[in-house]
Amino acid sequence: MTWFKSLGNTEIIFIALFLVAYAVYIIRLLRISKRLNTSFRPLFFKIFLRTSAIILMIIALLGPSFGETTKEVKSEGKDIFIAVDLSQSMNAFDIAPTRLEKVKFELSKIVEAFSSDRIGLIIFSSEAFVQCPLTYDQSALNLFISTLNTSLVPNAGTDFGAPLNIALEKMEQTEAPVTQQKAQIILMVSDGEDFGDETDESAKKVVKSGIQLFTLGVGTEAGSKIRQARGFKRDREGNEVVTKLNSKSLRKLAVDTGGKYFEINKEQNDVSRLIRAINEVEGEVRDARMIDASANKFYFFLLGALILLALDALIRRKTLRI
């Protein structure tokens, strides 16, 4: 027999106080019986019932488990590739402290929310690279997230097609059955400035694969300048560059693939909604096995205690004879 919980100091103190109070009650009955010159024996049976009921309730509280039963345990999970835009525009500070720093903070919350799923990290601008393959290791993933900066990738514009293609390639290597591909997710995080020519073609591949695609836009429509080491970024004519959130491109990508668009700006933060949406995606069964488990049988002891208390209430004993 095994127990669901053990007696702690709190439980022991309350049981001891009850026993002391019950002992005082019995002593008081003995004194009354002696003064009235009556027999105490008729009360022995009721005391026995009450004591037995108390013991049974304590046993039920501890949660006794016995008897073997077989249960099937299934392990489910999802594969999530997060593609993060590291173009220079992600250094804009219309979202404090910068768009990228805000993304890094929110990504740590997303990673924590899906601790039982495999998560990978792709970084991109004009080109895309796998920064962290699909892994269960949250510590390693958070380390990679904390080191994200715009100098990790070439900055010759932004191309959504590159990260989509590399994510599709890596997920195809997992050899997931067609019925389980719905448990594969791509999360695109960007400010929406897409200068690539292959985005539409890549979106068609996503639809054909059955993989879920969510997009997360970061920035504001008003936009901001891009701070650099010496002042602000300027274009070829010497004018200071102002980068704005282009939600249209991210919305279109989400609509074309049957996914959903979310946004982080000054007034709203849809990360919680994003987490709920990913949670709604059914995970695939990664492992199923039969295990032996003992069942908690506390209700037998609780039922016994209730029966004894009912008998105690029904049985009447006279201690005073006239």
- CA atoms lying within 13 Å on the CB side of residue 144: 21
pLDDT-based confidence at residue 293 (cuts at 50, 70, 90): low
pLDDT of residue 207: 93
Q: Is the pLDDT of residue 148 over 50?
A: yes
SS3 content of the chain, % helix, strand, coil (to 5): 45, 25, 30
Q: What tens digit of pLDDT does each residue of 103-115 get?
A: 999 999 999 999 8
Length of the chain: 322
Q: Other CB atoms closer than 10 Å to residue 247's CB: what's the count?
A: 18
Predicted confidence at residue 178, as pLDDT, reads 43
Kindly give, in sequence order, each residue whose CB lies less than 8 Å from that of residue 167, ignoring residues fewer than 6 positions away.
81, 83, 120, 122, 186, 211
pLDDT digit string (tens) for 37-87? Answer: 766 666 677 778 888 888 888 888 777 776 666 666 555 789 999 999 999
Work out whether strand 79-85 and strand 184-190 pair parallel, antiparallel, or are unpaired.
parallel
How wide is the angle at C-alpha 282 spanned by C-alphas 276 and 285, nearest 5°? 135
Asked if 278 contacts 80 with a C-beta cutoff of 8 angstroms, the reply is yes
Tracing tokens 């102002």 back to the chain, one arrives at 242
**pLDDT tens-digit readout, 159-209:** 899 999 999 999 888 655 444 455 899 999 999 887 778 889 999 999 999
Q: Tokens in use for 291?
A: 């295990």
The two most distant CA atoms of the chain are separated, in Å, by 118
Six-digit token string for 217: 């836009």
